[in-house]
Amino acid sequence: MAEEDTGRRIEEGYGNRPVSMDEKKLQEEDINNQHPTSDSHVESIEKEDGVAQKDEQPLIKSSPKSKRIATLDVFRGLTVVLMILVDDAGGAYARIDHSPWNGCTLADFVMPFFLFIVGVAIALAFKRVPKLSFAIRKIISRTLKMLFWGILLQGGYSHAPDDLAYGVDMKQIRWCGILQRIALVYMIVALIEALTTKIRSSVLSPDHFSIFTAYRWQWLGGFIAFLIYMITTYALYVPDWSFVIEHHHKSERYTVKCGMRGHLGPGCNAVGYVDRAVWGINHLYSGPVWSRLKACTLSSPSSGPLREDAPSWCRAPFEPEGLLSTISAILSGTIGIHYGHVLIHFKGHAERLKQWVSMGIGLLILAIILHFTDAIPINKQLYSFSYVCFTAGAAGIVFSAFYVLIDIWGLRTPFLFLEWIGLNAMLVFVMAAQGIFAGFINGWYYKNPDNNLVNWIQEHIFNDVWHSERVGTLLYVLFAEITFWGVVSGILHKLGIYWKL
């Protein structure tokens, strides 16, 4: 899976194999198929498609070899680092872990940041589509690969890193997950982008909104996803439902009383109802974060034993990457692809930043208004519209800041660490975020499975030295995981080795 292809990434790569002339054209036209730029000032895609300053210009213009945008890799690397941090240190610091219900914490930015950068990458990868059938085949192929890896890593087959066993009961396999959501959003957004390449306007007028009208089909797709989500969320009737929990070889059935529409609480929302109806309750995530709510545990916002008077839904499964919420997540990819379109069609830094920052601020303001008026609370588990706006606005601001620092001011060196991880995001995601490498190391133990190298390092080098399990856990994640994989990614980058789908 490791290949020499310094310009490709997991959602943009083409395999090292003989290719046809049409495939070569598509690869040559892909902006990100170039080697990373030097550490000097980066004028990214300077000769790429621009917006007319006084007169209308062609929407797509031919261009010589283009430089790579380092900001994309740095942003992707930051997102992977955040995932490792909140997944492995969130247990010690609940404030950075996922919000139990309404609200937004550091962990809640990870998924929409992934979808945002996927959207940007799609715009660059499908700037031109010489042969539609080939493009569609690549989209479907990449989607199926991500679905396969997602089910393998998060479906329950892998028990790494703590449990050395493997295998999953097909009656309880989890069909949804992080890569599955990315795959479905990628497929929808990429298909719209590829299918509309030939029917776009031939010119792009110089006004601020021309970029929106030129790509109206992409926004129409996002609007349809928005309508499906909103209508289903507020109009679908949610009946009473029940589930069974196994307690020491004894089954106990719990019932959740609903019988309502438009409810946005944990137990009776349409998002959970759709997943129970489509996938079956046994195939949903069994440890939802809502169990950390005050209604469920006195340890809130941390995990803890359930209260004796806890509602029945506190024990129930819930799918945070479910079907209806994934439809809403298409909006995150749509906003990301808009940022990619701006990058392509606006020549100057000022024009790009004006588009990006104005949209980012506008989305943040809209989300804050919706949340604090209780119209639509920010909620990651439901992937609410305000959550889409808030996280996409934040992604746009962070992306713009990286662009200024790296591709305008040329401060690339301080961010090489993140760039290396971003270039090998799939490898770091699988090996670090999903614990496959740690699980492999744990397989070499002495006398007792708990007596392994990973546990020894965390206990004796970090916890004992700092006399604090919380601080030790945080430092272990920062140095033994994030720093370690940053160094590994840097070495692989120097060797030209990348893992891509």
What is the reported pLDDT for 75?
A: 97
Distance CA 229, CA 210 (A): 27
Helix (H, G, I), strand (E, B) or coil at 158: strand
Degrees (nearest 5) of the Cα angle 225, 230, 235?
130
481 burial level (CB within 10 Å; 0-12, 13-18, 19+):
buried
Q: Is the dihedral of CA 58, 62, 67, 70 positive or negative?
A: positive
Q: How many whole angstroms separate alpha carbon 149 and alpha carbon 196? A: 29
Side-chain half-sphere CA neighbours of 164 within 13 A: 11
d(CA 122, CA 333): 9
pLDDT value, residue 129: 83
Q: At what angle do helices 216-235 and 385-402 cross, to 10 degrees?
A: 140
Beta strand ranges found along 411-466 (DSSP E): 445-446, 448-452
d(C-alpha 16, C-alpha 452), whole Å: 38
- Written as tens digits, the pLDDT of the chain (501 aa) is 433 343 333 333 333 334 444 444 444 444 343 333 333 333 333 333 333 333 333 443 333 344 678 999 999 999 999 999 999 998 888 888 999 999 999 999 999 999 999 999 999 999 888 889 999 999 999 999 999 999 999 999 988 888 888 899 999 999 999 999 999 999 999 999 999 988 776 566 666 788 888 899 999 999 999 999 999 999 999 999 999 988 777 888 999 999 999 999 999 999 999 999 999 999 999 999 999 999 999 988 888 899 999 999 999 999 999 999 999 999 999 999 999 999 988 888 999 999 999 999 999 999 999 999 999 999 999 999 999 999 999 999 999 999 999 999 999 999 999 999 999 999 999 999 888 998 899 888 888 888 888 889 988 899 888 888 889 999 999 999 999 999 999 999 999 999 887
On whether the CB atoms of residues 453 and 441 are closer than 8 A, the answer is yes
Tokens of 427: 């490898």
pLDDT of 209 reads 80
Report CA 252 to chain centroid distance, whole Å: 36
The answer to whether the CB of 204 falls within 8 A of the CB of 171 is no
Cβ contact 188:327 at 8 Å: no
Among 174, 182, 184, smallest CA distance to 153 is for: 174
Q: How far from chain centre, in Å, is Cα 450?
A: 32
Residue 52 dihedral angles phi and psi, to the nearest 5° = -60, 135
Give this prediction's pTM. Answer: 0.85
Q: Does the N-terminal peptide bond of residue 301 adopt cis geometry, omega within 30 degrees of 0?
A: yes
What is the separation of C-alpha 151 from the centre of its chain, rounded to a whole number of angstroms? 16
Output the six-digit token pair for 18: 């003989």
247's enclosing H/E stretch is strand 241-247
Q: In Å, what is the CA distance from 278 to each residue of 175, 205, 260?
A: 11, 45, 19
State both tokens at 348. 């100057």
Q: What is the pLDDT of residues 88-124, one digit of tens each?
A: 998 888 888 999 999 999 999 999 999 999 999 999 9
Q: How confident is the model over 227-264, as pLDDT tens digits?
A: 999 999 999 999 999 999 887 778 889 999 999 999 99
Centroid of chain to Cα 13 = 17
pLDDT for the residue numbered 207: 67
The whole-angstrom distance between residue 322's C-alpha and the CA centroid of its chain comes to 14
Determine the distance from the C-alpha atom of residue 430 to the mean position of all C-alpha atoms in its chain, rounded to a whole number: 14
Looking at residue 161, what is its pLDDT? 85
Specify the pLDDT at position 95.
84
The answer to whether 418 and 78 have CB atoms below 8 angstroms apart is yes
Q: Write down the H helix ranges in 247-380.
A: 270-278, 323-345, 349-372
The whole-number pLDDT of residue 205 equals 67
How far apart are the C-alpha atoms of 281 and 285, rounded to whole Å?
Answer: 9
Per-residue tokens: 43: 């004028």
